Chain A
């Protein structure tokens, strides 16, 4: 089942690390957000293959916004 990774808080998308097709573990960052003056890596909960990225660098995401889908 696809895992939808959503933003937990308002943040800037600082860096996109993974691209669609990449296999990621639960410890590999997919994107890095910037919020509260911190760089916050975003991970998949169980790992898998990145199916789609829904954000671009520099974009502002709100709480609940879809960041990536991992299968």
Chain B
């Protein structure tokens, strides 16, 4: 016997309606609309997100495609200025074709005022953007000026649309191939997070608002070590591995904890940047990922990490830096791509930052990349190493080929390899491992991997809270 099912009453929901979007962003029952019920194309609201007060503005794409005019821009500026006055996070939900054409330069001036408000707020309160539809022209630079850009599958960000591109350059594209989530998540680095749908995009914005708006305090007693984090490294020292499971295990987990959010997961993937909770407090984790490009630093990854460090510093988020880096990526492409200029950003960002920042060398740290990864010289709060870590200008075998080149060349061929091995052993004993680094104080302590969480938590808790007095320029 079959039971006839009554089809649900079809309800036509306009996905562009700001109300359901804002309702999904705020905690149930806390949403209060502020500016609404006009033709400005912008709705603003306040309420709680994860129990912390926050403000939001949202394009209303049902009105002139969400295009930005004088009134709508004034609403956004007011929302941002209020967030700064109350020191609470501000979230922008974007679905807008850019400036309102009929208003002409008046609209451009208004959009410029939004940009100026964002820069005034930069580094003072967390600013998060969620792009759910097209964000074109002026609406593209709005999200780009904020701290974090989340794009759903239907998000599109571009300065000039496919038609204009075609007429000027002859290139054929559609909105997705021009500025879809795959482009900005993987190629350009414009988007920090890309999600499969709008609901996930808004849920991620909730996690980030809660992490940045209610940071908490490090409670070392809560940093229990379960198992041996060292077991996550491969047995062979020269085998690459994915560092993400290590980052995940380092951070708090549980039903009452926000999911950690990885930023720029697919762009410059050789370095991993994650916001998450650790021992009860929000921290930023930066980790080399040996699985990608061997974990080398390069121009893009240095720039990505530098921006992350500066954001965390401006918003008062302490840092944990997990180091396993063979050096900078060699190559013509890198040099021409400005690895010197862009790599310098990471040195500058770490040296400038005043938040507590603790480094752990898990396996190796070589050369210029050793310095860049929050070394003692750049002002690390504490530097720890696991017992088998190696810190040096380069690996022992590579160093021997340089240091003993003449002696090796002069040796009879049949003895050369044995001699090389002798030199390598000597080099490892004198300049490898953590011995020399501990001796001169650039590593504070070699720690047991089984106590990693606890030792990092104690070091972070002991450091005075501080926050960098600067904005977060989108490097």
The B interface, classified by DSSP as helix, strand, loop or mixed, is loop
Query: Does B346 have its Cβ within 8 Å of any Cβ on chain A?
Result: no
Taking the nearest CB of chain B, how far is it from the CB of A20, in angstroms?
23
| Complex: A63 Cα to B330 Cα, angstroms | 12
The A interface, classified by DSSP as helix, strand, loop or mixed, is loop
Determine whether the beta carbon of A38 is less than 8 Å from that of B290.
Answer: yes
Inter-chain contacts of B419 with A (CB < 8 A): none
Pick from B293, B326, B331: contact of A37, CB below 8 A.
B326
Query: Does B167 have its Cβ within 8 Å of any Cβ on chain A?
Result: no
| Complex: A36 Cα to B292 Cα, angstroms | 12
Given pairs A36-B327, A39-B240, 18 additional interface contacts (CB within 8 A): A8-B292, A8-B293, A9-B293, A27-B242, A35-B294, A36-B294, A36-B296, A36-B326, A37-B326, A37-B395, A38-B238, A38-B290, A38-B294, A39-B236, A40-B240, A40-B291, A41-B240, A63-B333
Taking the nearest CB of chain A, how far is it from the CB of B265, in angstroms?
11
Inter-chain contacts of B292 with A (CB < 8 A): 8
Instruction: List chain A positions with a Cβ less than 8 A from chain B.
Output: 8-10, 27, 35-41, 43, 63
Taking the nearest CB of chain A, how far is it from the CB of B155, in angstroms?
20
Chain B CB within 10 Å, residue with most, of A8, A9, A38, A39 = A38
Chain B window 270-308, contacts with chain A (Cβ cutoff 8 Å), 1 for yes, 0 for no: 000000000000000000001111101000000000000
Inter-chain contacts of B406 with A (CB < 8 A): none
Chain B CB within 10 Å, residue with most, of A9, A35, A36, A40 = A36
Taking the nearest CB of chain B, how far is it from the CB of A30, in angstroms?
13
Inter-chain contacts of B296 with A (CB < 8 A): 9, 36
Taking the nearest CB of chain A, how far is it from the CB of B194, in angstroms?
13
Taking the nearest CB of chain B, how far is it from the CB of A49, in angstroms?
21
Query: Does B329 have its Cβ within 8 Å of any Cβ on chain A?
Result: yes
Determine whether the beta carbon of B238 is less than 8 Å from that of A37.
Answer: yes
Query: Does B397 have its Cβ within 8 Å of any Cβ on chain A?
Result: yes
Determine whether the beta carbon of B240 is less than 8 Å from that of A38.
Answer: yes
Inter-chain contacts of B294 with A (CB < 8 A): 9, 35-36, 38, 40
Inter-chain contacts of B290 with A (CB < 8 A): 38, 40
Inter-chain contacts of A38 with B (CB < 8 A): 238-240, 290, 294, 326
A40 closest partner in B (C-beta): B240
Chain B CB within 10 Å, residue with most, of A9, A10, A37 = A9
Inter-chain contacts of B377 with A (CB < 8 A): none
Query: Does B1 have its Cβ within 8 Å of any Cβ on chain A?
Result: no
